[in-house]
Amino acid sequence: MNDCENLTIAGIEADILLIPHGDVDKSATTIDATNPLLVTDLVLKAGKTGFLLQGVKQTNGYNHEFVPGDEQTPDKSRHVVRGRILTPSAANRLQANKLGKGEGYMAVVNKKYKGKDSKDAFLILGWDAGLYLSSKSENSLENDGAILLELSSKDSMLEKDDPKVLLETDYDTTKAAFDNKFAVAAGV
């Protein structure tokens, strides 16, 4: 299982793409027949798009953790994304405010670690139950005045699996879809 040519690297590329959970067309999205943790085509509903949580260096990040079950509940996974709104403009404040209105989100991240042939670069967090705003703060004397936020799985709605890997044909195709925020033209 250890590939010395493709050892892991910490961190993500700067940006995280947040997609309202209800905007993903799961019936049109393709999941690999032999590996349920591999999405080969992420499709949003017509006219929908994700929105970018822009970052620099390592201001944004993610983690997931195993949550053991008990005699009555299965083992699950908690997904978390953390980020900073570095430009707290009126438009960005509106997007941050929307995060706190109770809707679940999926997050797509582009990891620094790409894997062999760059096939493992992208992850989708929050696929099953979604990520919800769990904290948001702004302090004029800390973090250069940026708005800090965290979206995570709710305790009562944990994910059934680890994050899914996203690979649409190859890295370049997946990166182009990410850069386009997985937008699908209306009427398509």
Cα 127 from Cα 6, distance rounded (Å): 26
Q: What is the pLDDT of residues 21-51, one digit of tens each?
A: 999 999 999 999 999 999 999 999 999 999 8
**Residues 120-148: what's their mean pLDDT?**
92
- Residues contacting 185, CB < 8 A, separation 6+: 46, 47
Is residue 151 within a helix (H) or strand (E), and if so which, with residue range?
Answer: strand 147-152
Q: Is the pTM of this model over 0.75?
A: yes
pLDDT reported for residue 58: 80
Residue 180, classed as helix, strand or coil, is coil
For the beta sheet containing 122-125, the strands, ordered from the edge strand earlier in sequence to the opposite edge, are 30-31, 38-41, 164-166, 122-125, 105-111, 12-20, 51-53
Cβ atoms 62, 81 nearer than 8 A: yes
Is residue 136 within a helix (H) or strand (E), and if so which, with residue range?
Answer: strand 132-138
Q: What is the pLDDT of residues 89-101, one digit of tens each?
A: 898 888 889 898 9
